[in-house]
Amino acid sequence: MDKKLKKGISTCILYLLLIIGSIIMILPFYWMIATSLKTSSEVLKMPPMWIPTSWKWSNFAEAWKAAPFARYFLNTVIVTVFSTLGELVTSILAAYAFYRLEFYGKKVIFSILLGTMMIPGEMLLMSNFVTLTQLGWINTYQALIVPWTASAFSIFMFRQYFSTIGDELYYAARIDGSKDFGYLINIILPMSKPMIITIVIIKAIGSWNSFMWPLVVTNSENMRTLSVGLTAFITDTGTNYQLLMAASTFIILPMIIVFLVMQKYIIEGISHAGIKG
């Protein structure tokens, strides 16, 4: 029985470690929401109050009004939606070209795109800022959206995915009289749903959470995104942690919900990217 006991103990330890690890991972989020529901005196209670007793839902409303979060929210949504759409369109078209079409310089252009994936964005910051200034786009939606409407990464992921759709469908479509564009729209697109969903989610999360870029290209309150607005809010609230936590919830919660609903796609997408790497 000694063997069985040993196995039982190690299984217990395994579960214990995993449970502790999981708690460490999500405790900050729980704490964020719990703090958001406290009164200012409860917030400063030591030892900490794990379960809020006052359930001050009004904190959320108060935080929302304390700074133009409605506007921040709107901006973030607009930026996320349009840059994601833009990237979808540009990437799918480009991926199709690499997948199906023949043209001069195919290999060269492909290699250059590959190279761009290795460039750190920080290096391009200053120059892009100048470009945008010249275009008069500083502090506009264009500045927030346009530079993010293309990604070499997405192009590669789509191309990879397209190549798993066999040649025969293409031949059949051509014989049926469909030209390339029709084939793309009618056949490839519907069959690429899983990859589209994955890319949309990864891109949307990235766009929603982006900080440095919106920080740099916006300079007025009404163009700020949630992440920038949040950092500005820190100075406003001072030590009003329950409002600060409530405000943080505005930006964190939507993505958690998206994640919980769509985890399968996200995790699969990242696993694939990892294996290809």
Partner 1 sequence: MNKKITLKSSLKAYLYLLPAVAVIGVFVIYPLIKSFFMSFYVKYDYFKDKVYVYGIDNYKTVLSDPVFWHAMRNTMIFVIGVVPISIIISILIALMLNSKIKFGGLFRTCFFMPYVTSLVAVSIVWRWIYHKDYGILNYFLGIFGVHPIAWLDNPDVSMIALIILSIWKNIGYNVIIFLAGLQTIDKQYELAAQIDGAHYFKRVWNIVIPLLSPTTFFVAIVSVIGSFKIFDEVYALFNSGGGMAGPSDSALTVVFYIFRKFYGEWNFGVASAASFILFLVIMVFTVAQFCYARKRG
Site residues for partner 1, 15-34, by CB under 8 A, read 15, 17-18, 21-29, 31-32
Q: What tokens were used for 273?
A: 């990217």
Nearer residue to partner 1 within complex by CB, 81 or 126: 126
Note whether 14 binds partner 1 by CB under 8 A.
yes
Nearer residue to partner 1 within complex by CB, 66 or 125: 125
Report yes or no: 42 and 49 within 8 Å, Cβ to Cβ: yes
Of 1, 120, 177, 190, which one interacts with partner 1 (CB under 8 A)? 120
Note whether 277 binds partner 1 by CB under 8 A.
yes
Cis-peptide into 47, omega within 30 deg? yes
Note whether 123 binds partner 1 by CB under 8 A.
yes
Using CA atoms, how far residue 10 sits from 3, 21, 50, 69, 195, in Å, is: 11, 16, 31, 49, 39
Report yes or no: 32 and 252 within 8 Å, Cβ to Cβ: yes
Give the shortest CB-232-to-partner 1 separation in angstroms.
7
CA 25 – CA 255 distance, rounded (Å) = 16
Give the shortest CB-195-to-partner 1 separation in angstroms.
16
Report yes or no: 237 and 250 within 8 Å, Cβ to Cβ: no
- Residue 149 phi, psi dihedral angles, 5° rounding: -95, 15
- Output the 3-class SS for 104-144: CCHHHHHHHHHHHCCCCHHHHHHHHHHHHHHHCCCCCHHHH
Nearer residue to partner 1 within complex by CB, 150 or 165: 150
Residues numbered 205-264 forming contacts with partner 1, rule: CB under 8 A:
205, 208-209, 211-212, 215-216, 226-227, 230-232, 234-235, 241, 244-245, 248, 251-252, 255-256, 258-260, 263
- Mapping DSSP to helix (H, G, I), strand (E, B) and coil, where does residue 1 land? coil
Note whether 47 binds partner 1 by CB under 8 A.
yes
Nearer residue to partner 1 within complex by CB, 1 or 175: 175
Note whether 73 binds partner 1 by CB under 8 A.
no
- Mapping DSSP to helix (H, G, I), strand (E, B) and coil, where does residue 146 land? helix
Of 127, 166, 193, 220, which one interacts with partner 1 (CB under 8 A)? 127
Site string for partner 1, 156-195 (x = CB under 8 A): -----------x--xx--------x---------------
Note whether 44 binds partner 1 by CB under 8 A.
yes
Of 166, 177, 190, 274, which one interacts with partner 1 (CB under 8 A)? 274
Question: DSSP letters of 22-64?
Answer: HHHHHHHHHHHHHHHTS-HHHHT-SS--SS-SS--THHHHHHH
Nearer residue to partner 1 within complex by CB, 61 or 93: 93
Of 149, 160, 187, 191, which one interacts with partner 1 (CB under 8 A)? 149
